[in-house]
Amino acid sequence: MKRFGYTLAILASSVLASACTDDLTPTDTNTPPPGSTSGDQSTTFDHDNSGISPWELLDRLTQEGPPRYTAHVHSCPKVRYRTLGAVLTSLGANPANTTSLSAGDLYTNGFTALGGPNYANRIRENIGITTSGASREFDIFAAAADEVIAAFGDPTSALMQRCPGATLFDATTNACSPSGITCIIGTPATSRHLDYCNLTVTSASDPTVGKRLAVAAMLAAAYTCE
C-alpha cells in the first residue's frame, strides 16, 4: 500500500510540473533588435572555417618545419639596451647627448621603457617587445635622423669609418643612394628600398623633412619587427 501511495504521489508531482511548464510562455527579451549590436557579412570579417587538408598541412610542415622550430626562427626579440646604444654610436649619433629630446636624451631616459636590466634588484633585461619600448625606439630613431644624415658628411664619424665612401642622399637631386641605405640597414639595398626611400623624400612637405622621415623609417625597419 505504501508503494502504491508513493507511485501516486510521483505521478501527481509529474502532472503538476508539466502543467506549470505549459503555463510558461517563452519570451526573448535578451535578444537585441536587428542591426543594433549584431553584425552581418558586410560588417564582420569572413572567417574561413573550411579547415586545411592533411596533405596541405604536411606540405606546410615540410617547407616551414614544425611550429616549435618556426617559433624560434621567426621570433622577433627586441634590440638589447646596450646594443641599441652601440647601434646609435655606429650610426654617428651620440647616446650620451643630454640635449632635451635628442636621441641620446630619449635613450638615457628611456631605460625603463626599453626594458633595461635592474641588476641591483636582480631583474634581468626584458627581451620581449612592449608597446612602450617600441614607441620609445621609434622616437629615438626619429630624433637620431639628423645626426645620422650629418655623419655621412663627416669623414671622421664612426659611420664613415664603418662605411667609407658611402653617400646617403644626392646633394643636387636629394635622391637616395644605395650605398647609404646599405650602410644604414646593414643589408644590400634593393630597388624597393630605393623606391620607398625616394618616395618618402618626395612626398614630404620639404626635402629636409623627407630625408629625416626616410632615415627614421629605414632604421625602424632594420632594428624592430615593423
Phi, psi of 193 (to 5 degrees): -55, -45
Q: List the chain residues with pLDDT less than 50.
A: 1-2, 4, 6-8, 10-11, 15-19, 21-22
| pLDDT at residue 11 in the model | 46
Per the listing, cell 630597388 goes with 191
| Residue 132 to residue 31: CA distance in whole angstroms | 40
Annotate 100-133 with DSSP letters as a single string.
TTSHHHHHHHTTTTTT--BGGGTBPPP-S--HHH
| pLDDT at residue 56 in the model | 83
| pLDDT at residue 8 in the model | 45
| pLDDT at residue 16 in the model | 47
| pLDDT at residue 143 in the model | 94
Angle, to 10 degrees, between the axis of helix 178-185 and the axis of helix 191-203? Answer: 100
CA 224 to mean position of chain CA atoms: 8
| Residue 169 to residue 153: CA distance in whole angstroms | 10
Yes or no: say if 200 and 145 are a contact pair by the CB < 8 Å rule. no
